[in-house]
Structure 1
Amino acid sequence: MLAIVAAVLFFISFLINAADLTTNDVFSSGNVMLLGLLALALHVAGIGSGWSARRR
C-alpha cells in the first residue's frame, strides 16, 4: 500500500517539476519527492504491507 502512495507522490513530484509550476516551499518538487522516498522506505521496511498471519 505504501508503495502505491510512493508512486503517486513521485508522479506528483514529476508533474510539478515538468510543468514548472510555482508552488510554496512546502509543496515543492523536492519535498514531495522526499515524502515519496519516506513512503517507499517504510514499505521496504515492512510497515504498511498489510496484515500478517499469526503462527501458532
Structure 2
Amino acid sequence: MLAVIGAVLFALALILDLADATLGETVTAGTIVTAGLLCVALHLAGIGSRVGSSGGGWRLRSRR
C-alpha cells in the first residue's frame, strides 16, 4: 500500500514540476518527492504489509 502511495506522490510531483506550479511555499515538488521516497523506503522495510505477525503466512507452515 505504501508503494502505491509513493507512486501517486511521484506522479503529483512530476505534474507540479512540469506545470511549474506549487502548493504553497512549504509544499513544493521536492517536498512531495521526499514524501514519496519515505513511503517507498517504508514499504521496502516491511512496514504496512498486509500479512500481520499472527497471520501465519506461508513461511510458518511445516513441510511434510
Q: Is the 8 A contact 2:22 2:29 kept in 1?
A: no
Q: TM-score, normalised by structure 2?
A: 0.77
- Identity between Structure 1 and Structure 2 (%): 41
CA RMSD of aligned residues (A): 1.6
Match of 2:20 in 1: 20
Aligned length: 56
Match of 1:45 in 2: 45
Give the number of the structure with larger relative contact order, counting CA–CA contacts within 8 Å between residues 6 or more apart: 1
Larger radius of gyration: 2
Q: TM-score, normalised by structure 1?
A: 0.86
* Gap runs ≥5 in structure 1: none
What letter is aligned with 1:2? L
* Gap runs ≥5 in structure 2: none
